[in-house]
Amino acid sequence: MRTGLLGGSFNPPHHGHLAMARAAQAALGLDRVVLIPAARPPHKPLSPDMASPHDRLQMTRALAAAGGPGLEVSAIELERLGPSYTIDTIQELRRLHPGDELYFIIGADTVGELPTWREAARLLGEVRFVVVNRPGFDLEAGLAVVADRLGAAAAARMREHVVTMPPQAVSSTEVRRRIREDAPGWRDLVPPGVADVIQAERLYGRSFVTTFTTIDRLAEHAGQRVELRGWLYKQRGKGKITFLHLRDGTGVVQTIVNREQVGEQVYERLKGLMQESALKMRGTPRKDERAPGGVELDVDDLEVVAPAAGEYPISLQEHGIDFLLSKRHLWLRSSKQHAVLRVRNEVIKAIRDFFYEKRFLLVDAPIFTPSACEGTTNLFEVKYFDEFAYLTQSGQLYMEAAAMAHGNVYCFGPTFRAERSKTRRHLTEFWMVEPEMAWAGLDDVMDLAEEFLEAVVGRALERCKEDLKVLERDVAPLERVRRPFPRITYDEAVKLLHDKGHAFEYGNDLGAPDETAISENFDRPVMIHRWPQQVKAFYARRDPQNDALALAVDVIAPEGVGEVIGGGERAVDLAFLEQQIAEHKLPKEAFEWYLDLRRYGSVPHGGFGLGLERTVAWICGREHVREAIPFPRTIYRKDP
Amino acid sequence: MRTGLLGGSFNPPHHGHLAMARAAQAALGLDRVVLIPAARPPHKPLSPDMASPHDRLQMTRALAAAGGPGLEVSAIELERLGPSYTIDTIQELRRLHPGDELYFIIGADTVGELPTWREAARLLGEVRFVVVNRPGFDLEAGLAVVADRLGAAAAARMREHVVTMPPQAVSSTEVRRRIREDAPGWRDLVPPGVADVIQAERLYGRSFVTTFTTIDRLAEHAGQRVELRGWLYKQRGKGKITFLHLRDGTGVVQTIVNREQVGEQVYERLKGLMQESALKMRGTPRKDERAPGGVELDVDDLEVVAPAAGEYPISLQEHGIDFLLSKRHLWLRSSKQHAVLRVRNEVIKAIRDFFYEKRFLLVDAPIFTPSACEGTTNLFEVKYFDEFAYLTQSGQLYMEAAAMAHGNVYCFGPTFRAERSKTRRHLTEFWMVEPEMAWAGLDDVMDLAEEFLEAVVGRALERCKEDLKVLERDVAPLERVRRPFPRITYDEAVKLLHDKGHAFEYGNDLGAPDETAISENFDRPVMIHRWPQQVKAFYARRDPQNDALALAVDVIAPEGVGEVIGGGERAVDLAFLEQQIAEHKLPKEAFEWYLDLRRYGSVPHGGFGLGLERTVAWICGREHVREAIPFPRTIYRKDP
């Protein structure tokens, strides 16, 4: 069978397409011409007045019907994802119709573009081209480009089948222009069946946009037709109307599906459709103040892409936390988890922007470490080829090396603690950001810590309003996270505890209840500085005014959240550190490199570490840090 | 001994300070008054016309000398790092002079601010205040604030010692204003000795700034006095002049130290000063086109903060790579390593900005995984409490879960491969960024990959010009990294190899020499797509047109760099994946969660992974990836 192929956007199809098909058909005695609407024309950007694939298919079918026998339509390109390349189409058609002789019909004005098509040379070998020319058009210019890029033989092949037809006073652009501008006579340019589709679907009008959009931007498209892609969150039907909640990763929207609008057949498919089925929906967003997000979608077309294979394991009822964690890959889809991870995303970006703008150099600390930073307990051991390595607990010592090299630096990556304790504050794998500054003292560290926290919390408040609403977070306590933070000494903190009647022994570290009791006295984070040296790490600098104290600081967040930042000034004196390493019975050899930093240009320096998950949990008002990380790891859980 | 204390910026000290000291001295019969210049007044921001601590100390000493016996100067606050708090000063003085009765002298206009001082209530208990008032000033208003905030007893204590003196027509601000505006008579406001210092040091003039700056911004301060802090890179002396290269983490600058300028004593200290000694330098930057960075510093003051304890292990001569890696904590300080890490910093920020701006949600993949993503070889095993876990090789499977929850997502973190091979392309620990898109096909993945690489390379070119110069990188090949990238199929790639006479068996994966041979045919990265399914992972989607092919793509960077991106479309069909898991003999149980993604709303999706270190090494033109990460880990190295 001699088959002509005519591809294009068909946006919309018009009399010109018909004329072209017929001219080729007559000249070459073709048995049929197949019209092939392109899903995404590779040489045209997606434009706001590109009708949806569904509409273009409908219109092209109407065009073929108007053209009579010998005209067919293929959805072969529409069914493929991504851009449509002619070479792919040709190959598939050859496979589907091995006996056909294929003739690919193109306009003369397109010939010069051919060398830019995908695998153009190969394409010329696989199919005969029919060039439809019009009197007076300079076809030779286009053929010269082909000859130049693909060789003289290619140009010669193109010249084999040239058909000339009278110029057409119609183009898709012109049709759209007339419709958009309410210009008369647009109906004259297309067959009546095509005009019917345009009218029924209200295509190309002033408010016409057929575009894929996302739920968070739906309100911007109020009154315009759009397509949404997402998953069924819940539905409730009521006779002819079904309310269907769709989620797409940017939000959830209520859509209204009316049986009369979408047709009996589509409407029936909704029955029994289970949660998390994948859908494409088309329709018109309508502002409604009562709706969440202020907008609803009136659906006029709907496609079930993948029905859920069974009942969704996480239904809307309550589940135990162990069950939810075992289904974390699905639990992520729920609105609150979604909101928490969006806040996490924003907090991380705020942290990185903060340091980038302050010109702190990001120096990633290694995960594999040969030795422990703060003692050998709680370390994860890894078989490292024929030896053992340990997963990092903190990048700080490496940041000290980096600060001596680059001034102000930070690292931000996962850290690990093999803690057997199962509390709401602990994960075995968590992210920590650790800035370190050369030429800085304890006060500089505190200055940085308060500026940093204010910036990060402020950014989340500014850009995560909707997410914090979903989480029902009272933002008033967060709005008070403004500089200056109160700064009290450890001694003062202990006195405060004693004044409140707390039993607390001077010299101990603060426990969670102690931190909570202290933080209750302040309306914002409080910085506790100058700690008994024995509760802080060996590398902490001693207070020159009191050798029993370390120049360290903890920042305690309010609302019972507890420590979110720990840091301080580091010892600069070589002899002091050597003595510390001996007293703590640490292997000196493993710290030789660290001691080098005191041998070659030791300068005052300091920094801090902030636990990301605690910070995110605090901002989100979640009690447990495990919700603040996508895939939490605890003593009892390392999957999925 | 009855000791008065008079603190302040002394910027500059003037006759008013002298009058205040004398008034208090006379009224209370003080044996001496100690003037205490503050390092960083806690209630005043650092201002551009704040003279350096050194200059203020000099001037205050001149003031004391002019005031005659009974006036002393203490540098106690200048010697502390960070802001100066009176409470700290008082405590230290009490410790140093236990027998003294201390009187703290303040102006009446300062009384109302007292409650905002650190530990104000305690301060009132530790020292007597002397309030210097002037006729007609409303001291009671200030005392009312004290009473209100600190209690009536505190206000009563303040009232115990009030001294009244005539109003002074002088202030530090006025002195500076007159100097800056060349107003006559500024010398009348200060003792001659103070005026001498101001003149000699050219303080407060129109061009006067004493500010800490960094080498990369030095040119902005040309002609103004500044302070630099950094480390000695190298020096060469020649009689009265020493050329001293200083590095500070932002760059390296040549400074000129003239014996006559800095004085014999300081100049002598330079002799024998070894590389990496820590220094503070003051002087005036001078533009010089011949100098690197276009600027040199004429030094007029210099302080050795910490002389290096011995000869610097990494001298300017050549070292073997093993030695350099063993001294990585110091090697980081060298100019080229510094430049590479600055490029890395910029590339990482470019990546994060790219995805943030495109609204891809960052979803960090876990490091601990219960099972292998692409087979069990090359996995690091960790003892995880009473079980075992594995360090992640790729976050992709998790990103697929996240894409079904959030649409467009990415992860960016460390990944691990226990590869025994020691090549210039391999690390056991490296960072990978992995975007994943719901509702996307192979072409979308390729579109994203080329836009992404263009953006990242473009950003490095734009913002790391100086660093690439230091690395002597020819940027021409990088400037050609512009869309569109050529897209060829695996079949075409194999044909290309055969055409070049390469022995290559169809169906194999491409090796490094193959990649290099292919990339030589293109002037920019090339995308090779549609691979034999057996060389790609089990989850790759098959080409609907040819089941032997996987819809996968590798992006090969030019210049012999090889693969920097691998990705593709993922299988959506449950039955297909179950069959794949069985064929690959993978433990199905471990993949149940992954299969859930096909049970509940399976939609087309795809993404890719980019290896950070390969990308950074490529941009920097470094042959080996080990220089592209701060602390490289390989089979033979896990320290420092």
**pLDDT tens profile A88-115:** 899 888 888 888 999 999 998 889 888 8
Which residues in chain A touch residue B327, judged by CB atoms under 8 angstroms apart?
593, 596
Query: Hey, how many other C-beta atoms are within 10 angstroms of the C-beta on B447?
Result: 16
Which residues in chain B touch residue A81, judged by CB atoms under 8 angstroms apart?
440-444, 569, 604
Which residues in chain A touch residue B342, judged by CB atoms under 8 angstroms apart?
361
pLDDT higher than 90, residue A407: yes
The secondary structure of residue B390, as a DSSP letter, is: E
* Average pLDDT over every residue of A229-237: 92
* Average pLDDT over every residue of B119-148: 89
Inter-chain contact A306–B487, Cβ cutoff 8 Å?
no
Inter-chain contact A428–B364, Cβ cutoff 8 Å?
no
Question: Which of A180-194, B368-382, B477-491 comes out lowest in average pLDDT?
Answer: B368-382
Whether residue A572 contacts residue A601, with contact meaning beta carbons closer than 8 Å, is answered with no
Inter-chain contact B229–A438, Cβ cutoff 8 Å?
yes
Which residues in chain B touch residue A341, judged by CB atoms under 8 angstroms apart?
361, 363, 406
Would you say the pTM of this structure is higher than 0.80? no
Inter-chain contact B329–A600, Cβ cutoff 8 Å?
no
Query: Hey, how many other C-beta atoms are within 10 angstroms of the C-beta on B207?
Result: 12
Rounded CA separation A559/B102 (Å): 42
| Nearest Cβ partner for A635 among B91, B365, B385 | B385
Question: Tell me, what's the pLDDT at A45?
Answer: 47
Whether residue B369 contacts residue B389, with contact meaning beta carbons closer than 8 Å, is answered with yes
Which residues in chain B touch residue A439, judged by CB atoms under 8 angstroms apart?
212, 229
Rounded CA separation A425/A307 (Å): 39
Inter-chain contact B391–A384, Cβ cutoff 8 Å?
no
Which residues in chain A touch residue B606, judged by CB atoms under 8 angstroms apart?
none
pLDDT higher than 70, residue A513: yes
Query: Hey, how many other C-beta atoms are within 10 angstroms of the C-beta on A113?
Result: 14
pLDDT higher than 90, residue A375: no
The enclosing H or E element of A590 equals none
Our CA-based measurement puts residue A378 at a distance from the nearest CA of chain B, in whole angstroms, of: 10
Across A239-253, A342-356, B85-99, B123-137, the highest mean pLDDT is recorded for A342-356
Inter-chain contact B309–A387, Cβ cutoff 8 Å?
no
Which residues in chain A touch residue B359, judged by CB atoms under 8 angstroms apart?
250
Which residues in chain B touch residue A349, judged by CB atoms under 8 angstroms apart?
352, 356, 362
User: Cα Rg for chain B, rounded, in angstroms?
Assistant: 34
Residue appearing with tokens 């289970």: A274
Q: Which of A85, A38, A41 is nearest to A60 (CA)?
A: A38
Rounded CA separation B464/B36 (Å): 45
Rounded CA separation B579/B586 (Å): 10
Cα angle at A268 between A262 and A272, to 5 degrees? 130
Residue-wise pLDDT tens digits, A319-349: 888 999 999 999 999 999 999 999 999 999 9
Pick among B600, B602, B616 to test the A interface (most A CBs inside 10 A) = B600
Determine the straight-line distance between the first and last CA of chain B, rounded to whole angstroms.
56
Q: Is B355 helix (H, G, I), strand (E, B) or coil?
A: helix
Q: Write the burial class of residue B334 (CB in 10 Å: 0-12 exposed, 13-18 middle, 19+ buried).
A: middle
| Nearest Cβ partner for B443 among A82, A327, A402 | A82
What's the number of CA atoms in the CB half-sphere (13 Å) around residue A577? 22
3-state helix, strand, coil in chain B (%, to 5): 40, 25, 35
Inter-chain contact A364–B431, Cβ cutoff 8 Å?
yes
Inter-chain contact B444–A383, Cβ cutoff 8 Å?
no
Inter-chain contact A309–B599, Cβ cutoff 8 Å?
yes
Our CA-based measurement puts residue B443 at a distance from the nearest CA of chain A, in whole angstroms, of: 5
Our CA-based measurement puts residue B425 at a distance from the nearest CA of chain A, in whole angstroms, of: 18
Q: How far is CA A556 from the centre of its chain?
A: 32
Inter-chain contact B306–A404, Cβ cutoff 8 Å?
no
Pick among A81, A335, A369, A393 to test the B interface (most B CBs inside 10 A) = A81
Pick among A406, A446, A612 to test the B interface (most B CBs inside 10 A) = A406
Residue appearing with tokens 């049709």: A175
Our CA-based measurement puts residue A88 at a distance from the nearest CA of chain B, in whole angstroms, of: 8
Pick among B81, B275, B422 to test the A interface (most A CBs inside 10 A) = B81
Inter-chain contact A429–B342, Cβ cutoff 8 Å?
no
Burial letters A574-606, b for 16+ CB under 10 A, else e: beebeebbeeeebeeeebebbebbbbbbbbbbb
pLDDT higher than 60, residue A209: no
Cα angle at B126 between B125 and B132, to 5 degrees? 85
Q: Which of A422, A410, A328 is nearest to A629 (CA)?
A: A328
Rounded CA separation A53/B101 (Å): 91
Q: How far is CA A232 from the centre of its chain?
A: 20
Q: Which of B150, B117, B110 is nearest to B132 (CA)?
A: B110
Question: Tell me, what's the pLDDT at B315?
Answer: 75
Cα angle at A365 between B460 and A602, to 5 degrees? 100
Rounded CA separation A529/A545 (Å): 14
Inter-chain contact A341–B406, Cβ cutoff 8 Å?
yes
Whether residue B175 contacts residue B12, with contact meaning beta carbons closer than 8 Å, is answered with yes
Inter-chain contact B364–A389, Cβ cutoff 8 Å?
no
Give residue B345's pLDDT band: very low, low, confident or very high (50, 70, 90). very high
pLDDT higher than 80, residue B202: no
Give residue B457's pLDDT band: very low, low, confident or very high (50, 70, 90). very high
The residues that bridge with B303 in the sheet, in sequence order, are B280
A vs B: CB pairs below 8 A? 299
Inter-chain contact A363–B594, Cβ cutoff 8 Å?
no
pLDDT higher than 70, residue A83: no
Residue in chain B nearest A362 by alpha carbon: B345
Our CA-based measurement puts residue B587 at a distance from the nearest CA of chain A, in whole angstroms, of: 14
Which residues in chain B touch residue A362, judged by CB atoms under 8 angstroms apart?
344-345, 348-349
Question: Tell me, what's the pLDDT at B602?
Answer: 95
Average per-residue pLDDT in chain B? 90
- The DSSP annotation for A421-435 comes to ---TT--SEEEEEEE
Beta strands in B122-277 (DSSP E): 128-133, 162-164, 211-212, 226-238, 241-247, 252-258
Inter-chain contact A593–B278, Cβ cutoff 8 Å?
no
pLDDT higher than 80, residue A231: yes
Residue in chain B nearest A383 by alpha carbon: B381
Give residue B45's pLDDT band: very low, low, confident or very high (50, 70, 90). very low
> In sequence order, what are the residues at sequence separation of 6 or more whose Cβ sits closer than 8 angstroms to the Cβ of residue B68?
none
Residue in chain B nearest A347 by alpha carbon: B362
Cis before B604 (ω within 30): no
Inter-chain contact B345–A330, Cβ cutoff 8 Å?
no
Which residues in chain A touch residue B387, judged by CB atoms under 8 angstroms apart?
638
* Average pLDDT over every residue of A246-264: 89
Inter-chain contact B599–A441, Cβ cutoff 8 Å?
no
Residue-wise pLDDT tens digits, B551-601: 999 999 999 999 999 999 999 999 999 999 999 888 888 899 999 999 999
Which residues in chain A touch residue B368, judged by CB atoms under 8 angstroms apart?
428-429, 633, 638
Inter-chain contact B600–A442, Cβ cutoff 8 Å?
no
Query: Hey, how many other C-beta atoms are within 10 angstroms of the C-beta on A499?
Result: 9
| Nearest Cβ partner for B332 among A119, A401, A590 | A401
Query: Hey, how many other C-beta atoms are within 10 angstroms of the C-beta on B558?
Result: 22
Inter-chain contact A569–B329, Cβ cutoff 8 Å?
no
Inter-chain contact B214–A633, Cβ cutoff 8 Å?
no
Cα angle at A219 between A215 and A222, to 5 degrees? 120
Residue-wise pLDDT tens digits, A434-489: 999 999 999 889 999 999 999 999 999 999 999 999 999 999 999 999 988 999 99
Inter-chain contact A389–B574, Cβ cutoff 8 Å?
no
The enclosing H or E element of A471 equals none
Q: Which of B240, B226, B315 is nearest to B271 (CA)?
A: B240
Q: Which domains does chain B have, with CATH numbers?
A: 2-201 (3.40.50.620), 210-306 (2.40.50.140), 335-628 (3.30.930.10)
Inter-chain contact A439–B404, Cβ cutoff 8 Å?
no
| Nearest Cβ partner for A91 among B352, B443, B545 | B545
Whether residue B82 contacts residue B41, with contact meaning beta carbons closer than 8 Å, is answered with no
| Nearest Cβ partner for B406 among A119, A249, A327 | A249
Bridge pairing between strands B361-362 and B408-416 = parallel
Which residues in chain A touch residue B235, judged by CB atoms under 8 angstroms apart?
none
Inter-chain contact A370–B229, Cβ cutoff 8 Å?
no
